[in-house]
A = this chain, B = another copy of it.
């Protein structure tokens, strides 16, 4: 039984960028040398989020629309009144989707549906150098 820490580093340029990180997570599981366990992916930062989706152009657009509809950009955010950085909606969206996702693996392979990918959502309105953590726990 062991723990292996991998990371996925990349740059983003404003909202909403949705990135398929399935292959990156899969590679880290292989690098870990572990056979069975859990890969816990985590965003250090309060304006990014993680979930899974069928990664195709239509749904990528649909999830952006849903977020804009439910947590609109132009609202009267109290965060905005205090900090004036224009990203109140980014924070609330990130908190509602959540910063972590845990995916099981067996025989060194992530257990995912055929049409299911792990995605990172850049929800902030500014550029970021993101560095996601993949904590692999298993044996």
A residues near B (Cβ < 8 Å) are 1-3, 5, 36-38, 40, 42-46, 51-54, 56-59, 61-63, 65-66, 70-71, 77-83, 88, 91-92, 94-104, 106, 111-113, 115-116, 133, 135, 137-139
Contact = CB atoms under 8 A, between A and B. Distances in A.
A38 B78 CA distance: 33
Question: Which of A1, A61, A81, A96 has the most C-beta atoms of chain B within 10 angstroms of its own C-beta?
Answer: A96
Contacts of A37: 3, 135, 137
A72 to B, nearest CB: 10
The number of times this chain is found in the oligomer is 3
Nearest to A119: B95
A95 B59 CA distance: 10
